[in-house]
């Protein structure tokens, strides 16, 4: 029997303790919040307006510009796939605080650069988990193509033998670990490779094969 690349990818993510949440099943990922709302929230975060106040046109325009700068900075790092007009609910807090920090000096306040790095890291981790399955599939394919290139894998990615599935999972997890800031045991990867080599070698029993003709 064979195991699919997608299944191995899911197992590799679970092995790393990375949550697997289908995009359509998570409201915080599908609900979008307008940048105008985030700009107002940023002004509230700074204490420029109260929660029940409406910002002035000039303050709102300034905050909107800062939200755009936040989005551009994250987009330049390849972290976002959404447009510049709205943000997934999951990242509203990060966008709000980052925009507030960008606007802080305009209102005589200071921002902590370390907090900026922390917030950007939170967005990065969130995006990685949301894109986790696609990234994991790429990792499994990288493992497979490496084995093919070295003449070890005699099967295609469409029919990975069940017996080597766990080894693929371990090697894919090892490949993925740095991307998700996780750690794996190098010994596990070595054992996984050895298991694949043993499967490929499969020494014969030493008995002659008797052919029967009918």
The pLDDT tens digits of the residues spanning 164-195 come to 999 999 999 999 998 888 899 999 999 999 99
Q: Does residue 63 form part of some domain?
A: yes
Among residues 112, 147, 178, which one ends one of the domains? 112
> CB of 88 within 8 A of CB of 30?
yes
Q: Does residue 36 form part of some domain?
A: yes
pTM value is 0.61
What integer pLDDT is reported at residue 126 of this predicted model? 81
Domain tally for the chain? 2
Q: Which domain holds residue 44?
A: 31-112
Distance, in Å, from the CA atom of 47 to the CA atom of 109, rounded to the nearest integer, reads 10
Distance, in Å, from the CA atom of 99 to the CA atom of 105, rounded to the nearest integer, reads 11
Q: Please, which residues have CB within 8 angstroms of residue 112's CB and are 6 or more apart in sequence?
A: 101
Q: Does residue 25 form part of some domain?
A: no
Q: Does residue 41 form part of some domain?
A: yes
36 and 87, same structural domain? Answer: yes
Q: Please, which residues have CB within 8 angstroms of residue 162's CB and are 6 or more apart in sequence?
A: 1, 2, 3
What integer pLDDT is reported at residue 205 of this predicted model? 45
- Alpha helices, DSSP H, located in 105-204: 113-130, 132-149, 165-176, 186-201
Name the phi and psi angles at 160, rounded to 5: -65, 125
pLDDT less than 50: residues of the chain: 23, 204-214
């Amino acid at each position: 029997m064979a195991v699919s690349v997608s299944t191995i990818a899911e197992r590799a993510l679970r092995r790393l303790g990375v949550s697997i949440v289908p995009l359509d099943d998570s409201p915080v990922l599908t609900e979008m919040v307008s940048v105008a709302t985030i700009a107002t929230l940023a002004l509230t975060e700074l204490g420029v307006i109260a929660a029940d106040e409406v910002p002035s046109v000039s303050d709102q325009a300034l905050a909107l510009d800062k939200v755009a700068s936040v989005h551009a900075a994250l987009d330049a790092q390849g972290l976002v796939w959404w447009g510049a007009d709205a943000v997934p609910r999951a990242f509203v807090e990060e966008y709000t605080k980052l925009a507030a920090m960008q606007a802080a000096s305009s209102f005589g306040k200071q921002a902590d650069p370390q907090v900026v790095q922390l917030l950007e890291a939170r967005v990065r981790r969130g995006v990685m988990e949301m894109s986790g399955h696609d990234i994991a599939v790429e990792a499994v394919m990288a493992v497979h193509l490496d084995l093919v290139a070295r003449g070890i894998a005699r099967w295609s990615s469409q029919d990975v033998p069940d017996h080597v599935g766990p080894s693929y999972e371990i090697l894919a997890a090892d490949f993925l670990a740095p991307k998700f800031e996780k750690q794996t045991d190098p010994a596990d990867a070595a054992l996984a490779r050895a298991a694949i080599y043993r499967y490929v070698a499969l020494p014969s029993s030493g008995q002659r094969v008797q052919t029967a003709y009918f």
